Structure 1
Amino acid sequence: MPQAKTGATPPLLPAFGEKVEPQRFGFLLVPNFSLIPFAAATEALRVANWLSGLTLYEWYFLTEDGRSVPAANGLEVAPHAKYDEAPPLNNIIVFAGGRVPPTLREERVLSWMRRQARAGVRIGAAGLGSFILARAGLLNDYRCTVHWKLLPKFRDEFPHLNATDEIYEIDRDRHTSSGGTGTLDVMLALIAGDHGETLASHVAEEFMHDRIRPSSHSQRMPLRFRLNITNRKVLNAVGLMEKSIENPLSCASIAESQGVSVRQLEKLFRAHLDTTPKEYQRQIRLKFARRLLMQTTLSVLEVGMATGFSCQSHFSKAYRAEFGVQPRHDRGKDSLL
């Protein structure tokens, strides 16, 4: 594996003075993989080597056919080898992205990963790579995660799996991340497990990552930043709405929970969100309904019930008023909306 040049002398950490057997990572790249998780993984290992002054990690880029593959942004990455021509590995991570769950063309690639898993190789995935591991049966009886926007589809396709909304999951010899910068956190956790928290913390600091986020950290941005408001009563009310989509709380119940009247809650929503609580709650439910229609096999009636509508006609009418089309029109469209 070619070693990256840093152009500077590494700040050797006191705990690292002796050579160790390097851990070998195989990064299996699926066409249209997301570049941020891939870069986060490779850079975390590179900086761990640099800071320690040792080759703690080696990594190899692998593809199905040994040819270059494009990232989602068009950047072509040349592999070191075809997947089954890699040297003996300790870890394999599948990188996949795009706007729909990816597939591997060759069943033999999945068979190769199963053999690696049986041989004790640690298997992981970043972002949509979790779909590939799930289809290979490599996440059975393991906790796992995927990007929050595709979690409904993942759970619909793999109802037997323990899929969480965590930013990453490490469960014995499997690890999955939700993608994006969550991959940096799972790599830092792996480095900490291999070589201690001191090294992992120094790696994090090199990336100006203020802390190693625990797996329980929310994938989504906090409401106060998403909505760009600070009013605690409005934020709490919206949080309650997002948590009660299937069984919507009444505006009276929400107002009571915040110690205000319905009229006061309406004034707060108009002042901070330029809408009413009832309208905002309706939009939350309908946006989630749209995602279910696009990602899952639930019927229109089932989607309506899952988002708190008592009958299909009421749901269809509300959906058309919001999006300008009937619910069936959005079936199977862009998964990442």
Structure 2
Amino acid sequence: MKFDIMRMSAKTEKSAPIEVVVVVLPESSIMSLASVLDPMRAANRVAGRPVFRWRLLSGDGEAVKLTCDIPIPVDGRFSPPLDGDLLLVIGGFNLYRHAGKRFLAALQECARHFDIVAGIESGCWLLGRSGLLNGRKATAHWEELEDFSQTFPGLTVIGDRFVTDGKYWTSGGASPTFDMMLHLIAERLGPALALDVASIFVYDQMHSPTDVQPFVSLGRIEARDPELAGAIRLMERTLERPMTVAALARRLAISQRKLELLFARALSISPGAYYLRLRLQVAHRLVRDSGIPMRDIALRCGFDSLSAFSRAYRREYGASPLKMRGANRAASSRAESSSLSPA
């Protein structure tokens, strides 16, 4: 179905609310859900009338337990027939447990009857698996960009905060989703209202779709200490082939001594130690939340050998990466068994 901007403009002019269906899967992030719902709530408050009206659905119509263990009640089950202006699909961990063939078939059918269909965080994987993104540009959370691209070779995967390609939108995480909702409000209801909504949340840096997803959220460091911010961004770009501190300093056109002072004053850590910690943090997420082989994780995070990676990981987290992955999987299995047990 061709994206019908005139339809939405007419609805706004008539003061009819923009009709939204939000589908949330178990093990999603409460921040991603809030980044969808709260901008719409705030827009209604600022406008003094319901400019958005939404329904919250789940795959089975039952309450959804998020990663923080909070159950979220829903208005019903996600199944055809459904139509509206916006269809937003929020996914988190273990998608294959929570969204099977029936869910994907419902997504394919319902997507035809909405003007915008958006995949939030891991929701982009569901849009990809359903074939809705074929031949389009899309993004995913920065931890999953490479796997997302390999899984869906027919897509153009880019590391932007969020991506809009026709009626299909994708977002790389909770904060980018907030940016995406502000972008939507600005397009449909005007930039002044979007600015008012951002101000309610004291959100003082509205991002464009093409802003790149960072590994590290620097906040005000970028404005207060641009050389330090530049060093951290360079570290992010070179995780697979880490540079020496001296090489970092040369690339940044500052002395090694100045680079060391920047890190000591702002972060109370040496640049080398921070670099290693950054690589291990990325590795830790991949160990816990993916099935990527340990050797591949080691290479992605700049370790020449699996043994060197294991030693550094054990020093940082108190257990080997294999033991950490095993413990995490056991905990997930216990949680799943508990949720399936009769009351």
Q: TM-score, normalised by structure 2?
A: 0.74
- Aligned equivalent of 1:250: 244
CA distance in 2, matches of 1:317, 1:134: 37
Kindly indicate whether residue 108 of structure 2 is the aligned counterpart of residue 114 of structure 1. yes
Offset of residue 93 of structure 1:
0.9
Kindly indicate whether residue 186 of structure 2 is the aligned counterpart of residue 192 of structure 1. yes
CA distance in 2, matches of 1:69, 1:307: 34
Identity among equivalent pairs (%): 29
Give the secondary-structure state (helix, strand or coil) at the position aligned to 1:33: coil
Question: Equivalences for 1:65-80 in 2 at 5 Å?
Answer: 65-80=60-75
Offset of residue 111 of structure 1:
0.6
Mean Cα displacement is larger for which, 207-216 or 187-196? 207-216
CA deviation string 1:22-58 (max 9, x = no partner): 4321111222433333344334334444555655433
Kindly indicate whether residue 117 of structure 2 is the aligned counterpart of residue 123 of structure 1. yes
CA deviation string 1:118-150 (max 9, x = no partner): 445421122232232233233333333333445
CA distance in 1, matches of 2:263, 2:172: 32
Which has more radius of gyration?
Answer: 1
CA deviation string 1:275-331 (max 9, x = no partner): 444343333333333334444554333333333333444444444444444443344
Segments of 4+ moved more than 6 angstroms: none
Q: Which runs of 5+ in 1 are unaligned?
A: 1-15
Mean Cα displacement is larger for which, 103-112 or 257-266? 257-266
Kindly indicate whether residue 168 of structure 2 is the aligned counterpart of residue 170 of structure 1. no
Q: Which runs of 5+ in 2 are unaligned?
A: 1-10, 330-343
Question: Equivalences for 1:1-337 in 2 at 5 Å?
Answer: 19-49=14-44, 51-52=46-47, 55-84=50-79, 87-97=82-92, 100-101=94-95, 103-119=97-113, 121-151=115-145, 154-155=148-149, 157-158=151-152, 161-210=155-204, 212-217=206-211, 219-220=213-214, 222-223=217-218, 233-262=227-256, 265-266=259-260, 269-270=263-264, 272-331=266-325
CA distance in 2, matches of 1:18, 1:223: 40
CA distance in 2, matches of 1:230, 1:51: 32
Give the secondary-structure state (helix, strand or coil) at the position aligned to 2:174: coil
* Cα separation, partners in 2 of 1:160 and 1:327, compared to 1, 3 Å: farther
Where is the helix percentage greater, Structure 1 or Structure 2? 2
Offset of residue 114 of structure 1:
0.6
CA distance in 1, matches of 2:63, 2:294: 42
CA distance in 2, matches of 1:188, 1:136: 27
User: Aligned-pair RMSD on alpha carbons?
Assistant: 3.8
